[in-house]
Structure 1
Amino acid sequence: MDNIPNFVLYGEQGEEIFPDYLHIESIRARSLRHGWKFRPHRHHNLHQFFFIAKGGGRALIEELNHPLLNGLVIVMPPMAVHGFEFLPDTEGWVLTIPTPFLQRILEEEPQVLEYLSNIRIFQGDEETAGQFRGLFAAIETEHAASKAARGLFVRSMVTLLACSIFRACPPEEETRQEAANQKQVILRNFQTLVDEQFKARWPVARYADRLGITPTHLSRICRQVLHVPASELVTERSLLEARRLLIYTSLTIAEIAYDLGFSDPAHFSKFFREKTGKKPSEFRQTFTKRA
Structure 2
Amino acid sequence: MKKIPVYGIREFSKGSNEVYFYSNDLPNHLRSHQFINNPHSHSTYITILFTKGKGEHQIDFSSYPVKPGSVFLLNPGQVHCWKLSEQADGFVFFHTREFYDSIFTNRKITDFPFFYLQQNYPVIYLDKTEVVSVMSRFEEINQEFKANNSFKTEKLGSLIDLLYIELSRVYIKDSHDENKETSINYYKVKNLQRLIDEQFRTQKLPQQYADLMNMSTRHLNRLTREVLNKTTGDLIAERIILEAKRLLIHNDIPIANVGDQLGYDDVSYFIRVFKKHTGLSPKEFQKSTIKPFSL
User: Tell me, what secondary structure is at the counterpart of 2:230?
Assistant: coil
Give the aligned partner of residue 53 of structure 1. Answer: 51
Give the aligned partner of residue 212 of structure 2. Answer: 210
Mark the runs of 5 or more structure 1 residues left unpaired by the alignment: none
**Deviation per residue, 1:168-187 (Å, 9 max, x gap):** 44436973443343323332
Tell me if 1:38 matches 2:49. Answer: no
2:202 and 2:245 map into 1 onto residues whose CA distance is: 18
Give the aligned partner of residue 25 of structure 2. Answer: 26
**Deviation per residue, 1:85-120 (Å, 9 max, x gap):** 444563221112333554555957999712453343
1:192 and 1:240 map into 2 onto residues whose CA distance is: 15
Tell me if 1:185 matches 2:184. Answer: no
Structure 1 residue 50, shift from structure 2 partner: 0.2
2:83 and 2:162 map into 1 onto residues whose CA distance is: 29
CA contact (8 A) 1:112 1:166 kept: no
1:120 and 1:214 map into 2 onto residues whose CA distance is: 32
Give the aligned partner of residue 81 of structure 2. Answer: 83
Residues paired across the two proteins, number: 285
Equivalent residues in 2 for 1:102-181, closer than 5 Å: 102=100, 105=104, 113-117=112-116, 118-147=120-149, 150-171=152-173, 175-181=177-183
**Deviation per residue, 1:38-79 (Å, 9 max, x gap):** 3333334x3221011233443211112233223321122333
Match of 1:66 among 40, 52, 64: 64
Q: TM-score, normalised by structure 2?
A: 0.80
Aligned-residue Cα RMSD (Å) equals 3.3
Q: 1:267 to 1:116 in 2, by over 3 A?
A: closer
CA contact (8 A) 2:100 2:157 kept: no
Q: 1:198 to 1:66 in 2, by over 3 A?
A: same
1:83 and 1:173 map into 2 onto residues whose CA distance is: 24
Structure 1 residue 235, shift from structure 2 partner: 1.3
Structure 1 residue 129, shift from structure 2 partner: 2.7
User: Tell me, what secondary structure is at the counterpart of 1:228?
Assistant: coil
Equivalent residues in 2 for 1:277-288, closer than 5 Å: 277-288=279-290
2:49 and 2:105 map into 1 onto residues whose CA distance is: 21
**Deviation per residue, 1:183-227 (Å, 9 max, x gap):** 233322222221222122532222222222222222222222222
CA contact (8 A) 2:41 2:76 kept: yes
1:29 and 1:173 map into 2 onto residues whose CA distance is: 32
CA contact (8 A) 1:42 1:81 kept: yes
CA contact (8 A) 1:47 1:97 kept: yes
Equivalent residues in 2 for 1:247-286, closer than 5 Å: 247-286=249-288
Give the aligned partner of residue 96 of structure 2. Answer: 98
Q: TM-score, normalised by structure 1?
A: 0.81
1:208 and 1:2 map into 2 onto residues whose CA distance is: 39
Q: 1:290 to 1:138 in 2, by over 3 A?
A: closer
CA contact (8 A) 2:100 2:108 kept: no
Structure 1 residue 144, shift from structure 2 partner: 2.0
User: Tell me, what secondary structure is at the counterpart of 2:200?
Assistant: helix
Mark the runs of 5 or more structure 2 residues left unpaired by the alignment: none
User: Tell me, what secondary structure is at the counterpart of 1:32?
Assistant: helix
Q: 1:274 to 1:170 in 2, by over 3 A?
A: closer
2:10 and 2:155 map into 1 onto residues whose CA distance is: 26
